[in-house]
A and B are shown apart, each in its own frame.
Chain A
Amino acid sequence: DTAVSQTPKYLVTQMGNDKSIKCEQNLGHDTMYWYKQDSKKFLKIMFSYNNKELIINETVPNRFSPKSPDKAHLNLHINSLELGDSAVYFCASSQGATGNTIYFGEGSWLTVV
């Protein structure tokens, strides 16, 4: 059983398009995250939600909008995609928001052409 699942795994799209990545966790965790991993493998947090409430919003362009319909889901919508948005996006979850073990999804490889 997949604990944190995200779809799609691969996404190739043109500049200017709008796309969404969906994420679901079945661990019963109350906190979910979106991380971005660049080509140098540096992993940076983008957003964090605790019980559907936004608690971390890093300096991310407002073209990126997370949505948490319930505490088991955290989707990421990206408007007007740019070449620099190409990266791997990881969804993750944890119980509690401060420094606890984080469980990651398998990643969504986004390529903007």
Chain B
Amino acid sequence: SQQGEEDPQALSIQEGENATMNCSYKTSINNLQWYRQNSGRGLVHLILIRSNEREKHSGRLRVTLDTSKKSSSLLITASRAADTASYFCATDGNGNKLVFGAGTILRVKS
């Protein structure tokens, strides 16, 4: 069964605004990762957060993890048109597989 599920499915914002995407999962995890996929391209790793971490930052990205709620959020601050992409969370709670959610499609309008 699908491990991670992102919410919302699609998000449209103006350049300069913040974008928040959420991910929920079902089983215990060791870590959770976020990936970005530009149209027609492969997935690119953004950030990994371990189960014993609550928050992590990387540039304009901020990821939080709440293991009690089995959820994570990805915040992109001061969004740019180049941030337009699909964003996926992935969890390792299903054996030795990294399982991806269905993704959030982010559109940043300039």
Pick the residue among A4, A42, A55, A102 that contacts B96 (CB under 8 A).
A55
Query: Does B81 lie at the interface of the complex (its beta carbon under 8 Å from any beta carbon of A)?
Result: no
Contacts of A106 in B (CB 8 A): 41-42
Q: Which of B76-109 contact A (CB under 8 A)?
A: 86, 88, 90-92, 96-100, 102-103, 105
Q: Are A107 and B41 neighbours in the complex by a CB distance under 8 Å?
A: yes
A88 to chain B, nearest CB (A): 9
Query: Does A83 lie at the interface of the complex (its beta carbon under 8 Å from any beta carbon of B)?
Result: no
Most buried by B among A41, A44, A97, A98: A41
Q: Which of A28-60 contact B (CB under 8 A)?
A: 35, 40-45, 48, 55-56
**Number of residue pairs spanning A and B whose beta carbons lie under 8 angstroms apart:** 59
Which residues in A have some Cβ–Cβ distance to B below 8 Å? 4, 35, 40-45, 48, 55-56, 90, 92, 97-99, 101-107
Q: Are A101 and B42 neighbours in the complex by a CB distance under 8 Å?
A: no
Q: Are B98 and A102 neighbours in the complex by a CB distance under 8 Å?
A: yes
B87 to chain A, nearest CB (A): 11
Chain A residue with Cβ nearest B91: A99
**What would 17 A/B residue contacts be, using CB atoms closer than 8 Å?**
A4-B42, A41-B102, A41-B103, A42-B2, A42-B100, A43-B103, A56-B97, A98-B30, A99-B29, A99-B96, A99-B98, A101-B48, A102-B43, A104-B43, A105-B42, A106-B42, A107-B41
Q: Which of B8-57 contact A (CB under 8 A)?
A: 29-31, 33, 35, 37, 40-45, 48
Q: How many Å lie between the Cα of A102 and that of B98 in the bound state?
A: 9
Q: Are B96 and A97 neighbours in the complex by a CB distance under 8 Å?
A: yes
Q: Are A98 and B92 neighbours in the complex by a CB distance under 8 Å?
A: yes
Q: How many Å lie between the Cα of A57 and that of B40 in the bound state?
A: 26
